[in-house]
Amino acid sequence: MSMKYQFKNNEDTNKRLLICPECGEQLVGTDIEIFQACPYCDQKLERNCELEDFIIEPLVQRWINKHIMFDKEDNVTQSRAGLL
Ligand SMILES: [Zn+2]
């Protein structure tokens, strides 16, 4: 039987959080990057596609951000100016 994971979006960081199926704590990718277990309750998390996606998501996002910066320098500059 494969585990079904629940995720929620952190509105502050706009990142996905994994809800521990055992204790309900919200975990970030780096919490389970090395040991696939909940750092709060030590529940083993079965590694499946969903979990893989969740763990590599920040890396993918970093790559995309980098790519966009090179590709759309004008847009980035504009949105930065908008923030200041
Ligand atoms: Zn837990």
Strand arrangement of the beta sheet that strand 15-19 belongs to: 6-10, 15-19, 26-27
Which tens digits make up the pLDDT trace of 15-32?
Answer: 899 999 999 999 998 899
Give residue 62's pLDDT band: very low, low, confident or very high (50, 70, 90): confident
- In the chain, where the domains are located: 6-59
Element containing residue 8 per DSSP (H, E): strand 6-10
**Cα-to-centroid distance, 44 and ligand 1 (Å):** 9
For tokens 């629940």, name the residue: 6
**Cα-to-centroid distance, 68 and ligand 1 (Å):** 35
**Cα-to-centroid distance, 55 and ligand 1 (Å):** 16
Backbone torsion region of residue 77, taken as left when φ is above 0, otherwise alpha when ψ lies between -120 and 50, otherwise beta: alpha
Give residue 73's pLDDT band: very low, low, confident or very high (50, 70, 90): low
**Cα-to-centroid distance, 59 and ligand 1 (Å):** 23
**Cα-to-centroid distance, 31 and ligand 1 (Å):** 11
Would you state the pLDDT for residue 31? 92
Structure tokens that stand for 66 in this block: 């980098």
